[in-house]
Amino acid sequence: MSAMRNFKIVIQYEGTQYQGWQRQDSTGNTIQGKFEAILAKMTGLDFVQVDGSGRTDAGVHALGQVANFKIDTDMSAVEVMDYINQYLPEDIGVISIKEMPERFHSRLNAKGKTYRYRIWNSKLPCVFERRYVYELPHQLELDAMKAAACYFVGTHDFRAFTSNKKGKKSTVRTIDAVHLERTGNEVVITYSGDGFLYHMVRILTGTLIEVGLGQRAPESMPELFQANAARDLSGALAPAKGLCLVEVRY
């Protein structure tokens, strides 16, 4: 009798067509839902739970999403990965698999994450990368954005940077670094931190864009971290398609 085995997988996906990571009763068109359906088929079970490191929104992409699942199988790790990839659609793929100790959990054991947001900052169309960038024709002032981004680094209450109104859990997070660079017509913002709230990266980005467009001053950032700061004080929610989960650290 074989025992339950815990597998950690690293996943890439183009999120354009999907309703985000999290399984939903109303649709089978989620990343988590796709994996759970394939593993149920592979094992002959009604349901196999797949736990992700976090939920990406509808339309968000991933270069290095991490998930884990426990199954009773005699297949090797590589055979499990090959089976999954055989049945996944072409815009989702498993790029590595590893058997882990029973207690490993992709979300609970995560120590940090890196996200990247891409802005195509030109009046010219971005034909081939259009699914992965936010196309913004108005010129951004990068120095002002960098000055504003400095205020995000450190441990703060990011309550004003989440769309989640429930407010039971802590909204304190630590951002280790925010890096901005312009290459040709593209502005790339990279965020690394211990974890991110619902919509947090997209709202941080929307706020930086408003700074870059001269609509708010970099020096106005600290007031967004005050105890009474509300969501409506921060910037707009940047579109999902510019965002990519780059890596999860353990």
Of residues 61, 41, 3, the one with CA closest to residue 202: 61
* 48-64 residue pLDDT tens: 999 999 999 999 999 99
Note the pLDDT tens digit of each residue in 198-249: 999 999 999 999 999 999 999 999 999 997 789 999 999 999 999 999 999 9
pTM: 0.95
% of the chain surpassing 70 pLDDT:
99
Domains and CATH numbers, the chain: 5-100 (3.30.70.580), 112-249 (3.30.70.660)
219, HSE (Cβ side, Cα atoms, 13 Å): 0
| Rounded-to-integer distance, Cα 118 and Cα 136, Å | 10
Active-site annotation, residues:
57
DSSP 48-108: --EEESSPPPTT-EEEEEEEEEEE---S-HHHHHHHHHHHS-TTEEEEEEEEE-TT--TTT
Confidence of residue 165 (pLDDT cuts 50, 70, 90): confident
Over residues 145-171, the mean pLDDT reads 92
Other beta carbons within 10 Å of 228:
8
